[in-house]
């Protein structure tokens, strides 16, 4: 999954400053639906990370059955926190 491709898929642009708030909400809701339907673990994880960046990711115990996926998600959250602190 390419980040820019996902932005285009859900928001029709890679420039999120051009997305009106209601379109942003609609795109995030579409991501949540796709996340719930996705069966492929790597694609599911990628969607979760994108939802996390928008503050809309489901809790880890709900999102992932596998401990390895939950741990990877925790690692991702910590990495994002460190990056935001810079």
pLDDT tens for 19-44 read: 999 999 999 999 999 999 999 999 99
Domain hosting 28: range is 3-85
**Chain Cα centroid distance, residue 35:** 9
Rounded Cα distance between 57 and 80, Å, is 14
Number of domains in the chain: 1
**Helices 21-37, 41-53: inter-axial angle, 10-degree rounding:** 150
Which tokens belong to 22?
């209601």
Position 2 scores a pLDDT of 87
Query: pLDDT tens across 38-86, in order?
Result: 999 999 999 999 999 999 999 999 999 999 999 999 999 999 999 998 6
Position 86 scores a pLDDT of 65
Q: What is the DSSP letter of 54?
A: T
Position 67 scores a pLDDT of 96
């Amino acid at each position: 999954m390419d980040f820019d491709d996902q932005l285009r898929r859900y928001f029709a642009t890679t420039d999120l400053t051009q997305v009106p708030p209601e379109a942003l909400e609609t795109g995030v809701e579409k991501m949540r639906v796709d996340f719930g339907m996705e069966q492929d673990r790597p694609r599911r994880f990628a969607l979760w990370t994108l939802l996390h960046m928008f503050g809309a990711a489901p809790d880890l115990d709900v999102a992932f059955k596998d401990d390895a996926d939950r741990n990877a998600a925790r690692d991702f959250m910590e990495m994002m926190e460190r990056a935001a602190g810079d």
